[in-house]
Amino acid sequence: MTAMIGEAGTRDAQEAFDAAVAADERIEPRDWMPDAYRATLVRQIAQHAHSEIIGMQPESNWLTRAPSLRRKAILMAKVQDEAGHGLYLYSAAETLGVSRDELLDKLHTGRQKYSSIFNYPTLTWADVGAVGWLVDGAAIINQVPICRCSYGPYARAMVRVCKEESFHQRQGYELLHTLSKGTPEQHAMAQDAVDRWWWPSMMMFGPPDDESTHSAQSMAWKIKRHSNDELRQRFVDICVPQAEILGLTLPDPDIRWNEERGQHDFGAIDWSEFWDVLRGNGPCNEERLNRRRQAHEDGAWVREAAAAYSEKHDRRTERDRHAEHDQHGKAQA
C-alpha cells in the first residue's frame, strides 16, 4: 500500500488516520492505517479470540457434573457463548488481512498467547461460580471500554460480547450466592473457590502501568481507553460490596476503604507468579494447549466437509448461471 501511494500519499493518509482517531471516528478495514496499528490489533484481537475458545475448557470440565438440569443448561449456554465470542473475534481479526487458519496455527505452536487465567484448574463446582463472578467480571471491565475502540469491527464485536459477559457474571454470582447461603460445607466450598480465583483475576488486567510495554501506544491509538491499574481499581471497588452481599471474604487482608481517594486500597500482587504462568509454567498450560490441538485435529473432517460443500455449491451456481445464459441466448435467436 505504502509503495503504491507514494511518500506524499502516505503522509496524507497518515494525517487522515490521525485526524479520524483524534475525532473519535472509527477506522474501518478499507481505510489506510499504520502497519504498527494493524499489527497491534492483530496481536490483541487474536489473543482475545484464543482466550475465548481456550476459556471454554475449564468450565466445560463441569458440564457433565452440574448438580441439576437447570445448572447444566445455564452452563452449556455460557460455554457456547464463549465459542461464539471466539468466532466474532476471529472474524474481526480477518478484516485486518490475516486468516483464521494462520491464527490458530500460531496458537497451537505457542507463537500467540491466550489469557493466563485459563491455565488454572477448576477444582470444585464452586469454581464455576467464582469464574463467572470474578473472571467474567474482570473481562467485562476490560471489554466495555473496547466498545469504543478506534477499530470499527473490534468495537462492534464487543457490544454483543459484553451483553453476554454480563449474563455470565450474574450466573456466577447467583451460583456462589446459593452455595454461600447453603450448608456450612457449601459455604466453605464457595469461599475456597474465591480464595483461589481472586488473585489470578486481579492479574487479568495485566502488569502495573509502569511495566506495561504496549499500553502508552495503544492508548494514543484509542485501542485502549484506560490503564491497567485504573481498570484493576475499578474491579476491586465493584467486587468489595458484592463480596459482602455474598457473605464471602476476599483473600486480601489489606483491602480497606480509603476515604481520601474515594477508592479501596488493596494488597500487593505477586507478579512473579504472573510472569511464571505467562512463561508456560502454570498448572494447566500444557493440558489446555494439548486439548486444543486435539480438538482441532478431531474437527478436521468438519472443515473438509464444509470446504467440499462450499466448492460444490460454487460449481452449481456457476453451472446454473451458464444454463441461464444459454437459454437467454436461445430465446433471443
CB of 324 to Fe ion, least distance (A): 45
* Of 85 and 232, CB closest to Fe ion: 85
CB of 138 to Fe ion, least distance (A): 10
What are 257's strand-pairing partners?
Answer: 264
* Of 126 and 134, CB closest to Fe ion: 134
DSSP at 24 = T
* Of 136 and 252, CB closest to Fe ion: 136
What are 265's strand-pairing partners?
Answer: 256
Question: What is each CA distance from 172 to 95, 317, 322, in whole angstroms?
Answer: 33, 48, 57
| CA-based radius of gyration for the chain | 24
Binding site residues, Fe ion, CB under 5 A: 52, 82, 85, 136, 165, 168
* Of 198 and 221, CB closest to Fe ion: 198
Cell numbers describing residue 267 = 494488597
Cα–Cα distance for residue pair 184/188, rounded to 1 Å: 6
CB of 95 to Fe ion, least distance (A): 19
Residue located via cell numbers 502495573: 208
> Other CB atoms closer than 10 Å to residue 218's CB: what's the count?
20
* Of 165 and 252, CB closest to Fe ion: 165
CB of 51 to Fe ion, least distance (A): 8
What are 258's strand-pairing partners?
Answer: 263
* Of 106 and 168, CB closest to Fe ion: 168
Task: Give the sign of the dihedral formed by CA 66, CA 196, CA 143, CA 215.
Answer: negative
CB of 265 to Fe ion, least distance (A): 29
> How does DSSP assign 39-98, residue by residue?
HHHHHHHHHHHHHHHHTHHHHHTTGGG-SSHHHHHHHHHHHHHHHHHHHHHHHHHHTTT-
* Of 127 and 136, CB closest to Fe ion: 136
* Of 84 and 299, CB closest to Fe ion: 84
Cα–Cα distance for residue pair 121/127, rounded to 1 Å: 9
CB of 168 to Fe ion, least distance (A): 4
CB of 312 to Fe ion, least distance (A): 34
> Helices 152-180 and 69-94 meet at what angle, rounded to 10?
160
CB of 70 to Fe ion, least distance (A): 19
Q: Who contacts 150 (Cβ-Cβ below 8 Å, separation ≥6)?
A: 20, 21, 24, 25, 26, 27, 221, 222, 223
Q: Is 260 helix (H, G, I), strand (E, B) or coil?
A: coil
